[in-house]
């Protein structure tokens, strides 16, 4: 069973996830969304294949990799978000 990735369009300034934003923050968001999609797809696959399926170890390895990829981008995204907010003028 192979998981399918959908391609996501690049963000333009008017459709950023948060405002204000930075290219670095937007890239982390894209990577986070990709990892979440992979985790979702792999979790669904692992729910339906048997425990003795010869491909299960591969799916579990890919799930671990997706989780670490998510972790790798969440922490810097939060740090970049904080940096962006800290640069904003106070009202």
Query: 7-51: per-residue pLDDT in tens?
Result: 444 444 556 666 767 889 889 999 999 999 999 999 999 999 999
Query: 40-52: per-residue pLDDT in tens?
Result: 999 999 999 999 9
pTM of this structure: 0.72
| 35: number of Cβ within 10 Å | 20
List the structure tokens of 58: 């591969």
Q: Return the ∠ at Cα 21 (arms to 83 and 34), rounded to 5°.
A: 105
**Is the separation of the CB atoms in 29 and 17 below 8 Å?**
yes
Cα–Cα distances in Å, from 21 out to 36, 55, 70? 21, 41, 20
């Amino acid at each position: 069973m192979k998981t399918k990735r959908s391609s996501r369009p690049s963000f333009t300034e008017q459709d950023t996830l948060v405002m204000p934003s930075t290219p670095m923050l937007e890239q982390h968001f894209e990577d986070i969304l990709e990892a979440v999609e992979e985790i979702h797809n792999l979790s669904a696959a692992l729910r339906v294949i048997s425990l003795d399926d010869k491909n299960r170890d591969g799916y579990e390895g890919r799930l671990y990799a997706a989780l670490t990829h998510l972790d790798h981008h969440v922490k810097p995204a939060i740090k970049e978000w904080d940096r962006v907010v800290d640069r904003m003028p106070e009202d």
